[in-house]
C-alpha cells in the first residue's frame, strides 16, 4: 500500500517562503530579550500557499509566520524599507553586522536533543555594527585593558539593549587586539549553550580541536589552552544564559575559572547584571554600574543614521527628535527601533504613539515569529493613521507606500479582498506621481494575490506584464522573481514544460546577477516539478543540488526542506531506507530551530506517510499525532492540524481492513 496522493494539506511541494523613565524602557527591553533569547535562523525562503508576495515589514517590526511568508529576495519600490525584524536579531547591537570569526565545518554535536552545527554557531555570531555612535572611549578603554595594561579579564555588563555585544565585537576587531591575538580569537554565542558540557563542546568545535574516541572533552580542551602558542582570546557573549540555566551555575563557574587559570587565555564576557561571573578579577568596562546609555549628541547621530533619508530635516524635526530621545532615555535598542519606525510613519505620529502607548511601541508579540491579532490591528491602525496624514499633506508617494503596507498586512491575514483593494489604490497613486517602478511592483503584487486565490489565468497575465516591465527597467532580480512565479503558476496548472522553462530562466537570470538564494530556490522548485511527473531520479538530483547550494550559502534553515523532499521522493520510489534516513536528517536539523513549527509538522507528517506505506501502523499513528501536536502548538495552523486528524482517520480505516 502506497499513499501516492496522500500528501500534506497544501501539496507536497508547497513551500513556506521570511531608574525613572529609563527603568520603564529597560524593563520592557528585558522582557523582550527574555522572550526572544533563543536565536533562530530568521530567514524563510519559499513559495506560499495563502498570502500575497512580498515581505511584510510590519510597523511593529515583527515577523509573519513562516508558512505565510513570501520569498523576500527582491528589491521593490520600497527599497529603503529593509526587513527590520527584531525577533531574531541581537538586541545589544546598534547597527548592521560584519562577521568577525568564521569557523570551518567540523560536523554537528548534540545538546539535550538539540543539534548544534558549525553553521548555526556562525549564524548566531553577530557582527560589528556599522552604525556605532558614541562608544569610542569605551572601545579604547577595553582595548587598553587587554593590550596596554596586560590584564586578561574584561566584563561588559549592563541591561539588555544597552550595546554590550556591539562593544565586545568592536574591541575584538580593533587592530591592536587582532595583532596581539592573531587568529586565536573565538566568539562563543552562549545562547546556544545552556550548561558547562555544551560550552566545552562549543569551544572544541570553534577551535577545531581533534577528538579521539572515548577521549575526555575537557582534557582535549585544556591541553590546547595550556600549551597554546601565543595569546588566545575567548569572548563569551550573553553569558547569563549558561550562568542562570537551571542548577548548572556551580559547574559553569568551575569551568570558567579553570579556563581563566590558563596563562595565555584572555576572556571577555558580556552579561546582564552588575557583577562578572565567578571568582575572577574582572575589569569592568564603563563605570561601576556597567555600560551607560548614549549621550544626547551620540543618540541623535545614531537615530539619524538608522532613519536614513526617510528623515526630513527641519527645525521642528530636530526638536521632535530631541524630545523622543529624551523620553526613551537614549537607550541604544530603543533608538534603533524608533528610527526604524520613522521609515514608515511620520516622526510626529511616532511621538504621538509613544506618548500614548509608551514601550508597547517598541515590543513584539509573546510568540517569536508571529503577529498576534492585536498586533495586526495595531499595524493596520498605524498605517491608516499614516495614510490619513499623508493624504492631508498631499504626499501621494508616501500615501502609496502606506497602501502597500496595508495590502501586505491584509494578505498576511488571508484578507485578499482588502489586500487587492489597497494595492490597486497604491497603483493609482504611483501612476499619478509618474512612478512607473511602483506601478509595476503593484502589478506584480496583485498577480501574486490572484495566485494565492487560485485565479491563475489572471495572475499569469499580470505577472507576465510585470516581468516584461522589470526587464525594461533593468531590474533583473525582480524579473527573475516574476519568472519564478510564472513557473509555479504553470506547475499548479500541470503545464510542466512551461513551468520548467520559466523556472530555468529564473535560475539562469539569478545566476547572472549572483542571487545564490534564488538559484537554490529554483533547484528546489524544479525538483518538485519532476516529482509531480513521477520523474523521481531527476527530482532527487535537483533536491540534492538545492541542499548543497543552501548549505554553501549558509541558509541552514532551508536545508531541512530539501531533506524532507528527498525523503518524500524516496518514499514514492519505494526506497524506504533512504526515505527514513532523509526525514531523520530533516528532523535533527529542525530541532535546532524551535520556531520552525510548520516545517517540523510537515516533516513528521511525511514520516507518518512513510510508516503507513511500510504498514508500521503504530509508528505511523505516533508520527501523525506528533505532527498534529506541533501544528496545534503554533496556534495558526488549524488546517494542517485538521489534515493530521484526517490522516489518523484514514489510518484507522486501514487498520480495520
Chain segment 441-454, per-residue pLDDT in tens: 999 999 999 988 88
Which pLDDT does position 171 carry in this prediction?
Answer: 95
Chain segment 641-656, per-residue pLDDT in tens: 889 999 999 998 888 8
The least confident of 230-239, 333-342, 438-447, 570-579 is: 333-342
Chain segment 489-524, per-residue pLDDT in tens: 999 999 999 999 999 999 999 999 989 989 999 999
Task: Please indicate whether residue 230 or residue 378 has the higher confidence score (pLDDT).
Answer: 230
- In the predicted model, is pLDDT for residue 90 greater than 70? no
Other Cβ atoms closer than 10 A to 3: 17
Which pLDDT does position 192 carry in this prediction?
Answer: 87
Task: Please indicate whether residue 322 or residue 585 has the higher confidence score (pLDDT).
Answer: 585
107 CB burial (10 A radius; 0-12, 13-18, 19+): exposed
Which pLDDT does position 211 carry in this prediction?
Answer: 83
Contacts of 571-575 with CB under 8 Å at 24 or more apart are 571/2, 571/606, 571/609, 571/610, 571/613, 572/2, 572/4, 572/531, 572/534, 572/536, 573/536, 574/2, 574/613
Contact (CB, 8 A) for 508 and 480: no
Chain segment 607-654, per-residue pLDDT in tens: 999 999 999 999 999 999 999 999 888 766 888 888 999 999 999 888
Which pLDDT does position 355 carry in this prediction?
Answer: 61
Which pLDDT does position 481 carry in this prediction?
Answer: 94
Task: Please indicate whether residue 49 or residue 489 has the higher confidence score (pLDDT).
Answer: 489
What are the C-alpha distances in Å from 161 to residues 62, 180, 295, 329, 365?
Answer: 17, 30, 15, 12, 17
Which pLDDT does position 53 carry in this prediction?
Answer: 29
Find, among 350, 327, 346, the residue nearest to 338 by Cα.
Answer: 350
Which pLDDT does position 101 carry in this prediction?
Answer: 33
- Average pLDDT (44-73) is 29
pLDDT band at 89 (very low <50, low <70, confident <90, very high): very low
- Average pLDDT (588-593) is 84
Longest Cα pair distance anywhere in the chain, in angstroms? 80
Q: What is the mean pLDDT of the chain?
A: 77
Task: Let me know how many helices (H) and strands (E) the chain has, helices first.
Answer: 27, 7
Distance CA 434, CA 315 (A): 30
Half-sphere exposure of 454 (CA within 13 A, CB side): 1
The least confident of 38-47, 198-207, 454-463 is: 38-47
List Cβ neighbours of 368 (8 Å cut-off, separation of 6 or more).
35, 36, 38, 40, 63, 87, 88, 595
CATH architecture, range 109-284 = 3-Layer(aba) Sandwich (3.40)
Find, among 159, 99, 170, the residue nearest to 133 by Cα.
Answer: 170
Which pLDDT does position 424 carry in this prediction?
Answer: 92
User: Between the ranges 8-12, 18-22, 189-193, 345-349, where is the mean pLDDT highest?
Assistant: 189-193
- Average pLDDT (293-316) is 81
User: Between the ranges 35-44, 99-108, 314-323, 523-532, where is the mean pLDDT highest?
Assistant: 523-532
Find, among 610, 608, 633, the residue nearest to 621 by Cα.
Answer: 608
Q: What DSSP element (H or E) covers 464?
A: helix 456-473
pLDDT band at 338 (very low <50, low <70, confident <90, very high): confident
Amino acid at each position: 500500500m502506497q499513499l501516492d496522493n496522500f500528501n500534506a494539506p497544501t501539496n507536497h511541494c508547497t513551500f513556506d517562503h521570511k531608574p525613572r523613565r529609563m527603568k520603564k524602557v529597560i524593563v520592557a527591553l528585558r522582557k523582550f530579550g527574555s522572550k526572544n533569547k533563543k536565536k533562530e535562523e530568521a530567514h524563510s525562503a519559499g513559495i506560499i500557499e495563502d498570502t500575497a508576495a512580498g515581505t511584510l515589514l510590519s510597523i511593529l517590526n515583527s515577523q509573519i509566520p513562516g508558512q505565510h511568508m513570501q520569498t523576500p529576495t527582491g528589491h521593490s519600490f520600497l527599497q529603503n524599507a529593509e526587513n527590520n525584524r527584531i525577533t531574531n536579531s541581537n538586541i545589544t547591537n546598534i547597527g548592521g553586522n560584519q562577521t568577525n570569526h568564521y569557523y570551518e565545518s567540523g560536523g554537528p554535536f548534540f545538546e539535550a536533543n538539540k543539534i548544534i552545527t558549525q553553521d548555526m554557531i556562525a549564524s548566531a555570531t553577530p557582527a560589528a555594527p556599522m552604525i556605532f555612535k558614541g562608544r569610542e572611549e569605551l572601545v579604547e578603554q577595553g582595548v587598553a585593558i587587554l593590550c596596554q595594561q596586560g590584564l586578561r579579564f574584561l566584563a561588559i555588563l549592563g541591561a539588555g539593549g544597552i550595546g554590550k555585544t556591539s562593544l565586545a565585537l568592536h574591541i575584538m576587531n580593533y587592530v591592536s587586539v587582532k595583532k596581539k591575538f592573531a587568529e586565536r580569537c573565538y566568539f562563543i554565542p552562549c545562547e546556544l549553550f545552556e550548561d558547562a558540557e555544551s560550552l566545552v563542546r562549543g569551544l572544541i568545535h570553534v577551535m577545531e580541536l581533534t577528538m579521539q574516541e572515548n577521549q575526555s572533552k575537557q582534557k582535549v580542551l585544556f591541553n590546547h589552552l595550556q600549551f597554546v602558542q601565543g595569546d588566545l582570546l575567548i569572548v563569551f557573549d550573553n553569558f547569563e544564559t549558561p550562568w542562570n540555566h537551571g542548577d548548572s551555575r556551580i559547574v559553569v563557574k568551575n569551568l570558567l575559572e579553570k579556563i581563566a587559570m590558563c596563562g595565555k587565555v584572555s576572556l571577555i564576557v558580556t552579561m546582564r547584571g552588575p557583577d562578572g561571573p565567578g571568582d575572577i578579577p574582572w575589569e569592568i568596562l564603563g563605570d561601576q554600574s556597567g555600560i551607560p546609555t548614549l549621550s544626547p549628541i551620540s543618540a541623535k547621530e545614531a537615530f539619524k543614521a538608522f532613519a536614513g533619508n526617510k528623515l526630513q530635516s527641519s527645525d521642528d524635526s530636530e526638536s521632535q527628535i530631541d524630545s523622543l530621545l529624551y523620553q526613551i532615555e537614549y537607550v541604544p535598542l530603543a533608538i534603533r527601533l524608533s528610527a526604524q519606525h520613522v521609515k514608515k510613519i511620520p516622526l510626529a505620529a511616532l511621538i504621538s504613539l509613544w506618548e500614548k502607548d509608551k514601550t508597547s511601541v517598541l515590543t513584539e508579540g509573546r510568540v517569536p515569529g508571529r503577529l498576534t491579532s492585536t498586533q495586526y490591528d495595531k499595524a493596520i491602525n498605524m498605517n491608516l493613521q499614516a495614510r490619513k496624514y499623508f493624504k492631508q499633506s498631499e504626499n501621494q508617494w508616501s500615501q502609496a507606500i502606506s497602501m502597500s503596507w496595508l495590502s501586505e498586512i491584509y494578505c498576511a491575514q488571508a484578507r485578499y479582498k482588502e489586500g487587492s483593494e489597497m494595492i490597486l489604490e497604491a497603483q493609482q497613486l504611483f501612476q499619478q506621481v509618474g512612478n512607473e517602478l511602483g506601478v509595476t511592483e503593484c502589478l506584480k503584487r496583485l498577480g501574486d494575490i490572484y495566485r494565492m486565490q487560485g485565479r491563475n489565468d489572471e495572475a499569469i497575465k499580470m505577472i507576465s506584464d510585470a516581468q516584461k516591465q522589470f526587464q525594461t527597467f533593468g531590474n533583473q532580480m525582480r524579473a527573475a522573481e516574476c519568472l519564478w512565479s510564472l513557473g509555479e503558476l504553470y506547475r499548479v496548472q500541470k503545464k510542466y514544460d512551461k513551468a520548467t522553462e520559466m523556472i530555468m530562466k529564473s535560475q539562469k537570470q539569478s545566476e547572472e546577477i549572483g542571487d545564490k538564494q534564488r538559484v537554490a530556490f529554483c533547484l528546489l522548485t524544479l525538483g518538485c516539478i519532476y516529482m509531480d511527473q513521477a520523474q523521481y531520479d531527476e527530482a532527487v538530483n535537483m533536491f540534492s543540488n538545492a541542499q548543497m547550494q543552501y548549505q554553501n550559502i549558509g541558509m541552514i534553515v532551508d536545508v531541512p526542506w530539501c531533506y524532507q523532499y528527498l525523503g518524500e521522493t524516496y518514499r514514492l520510489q519505494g526506497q524506504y531506507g533512504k526515505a527514513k534516513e532523509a526525514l531523520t536528517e530533516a528532523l535533527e536539523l529542525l530541532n535546532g530551530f524551535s520556531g520552525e513549527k510548520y516545517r517540523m509538522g510537515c516533516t513528521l507528517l511525511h514520516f507518518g506517510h512513510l510508516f503507513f506505506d511500510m504498514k508500521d501502523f503504530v509508528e505511523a499513528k505516533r508520527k501523525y499525532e506528533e505532527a498534529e501536536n506541533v501544528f496545534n502548538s503554533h496556534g495558526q495552523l488549524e488546517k494542517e492540524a485538521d489534515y493530521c486528524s484526517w490522516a489518523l482517520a484514514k489510518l484507522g480505516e486501514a487498520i480495520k481492513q
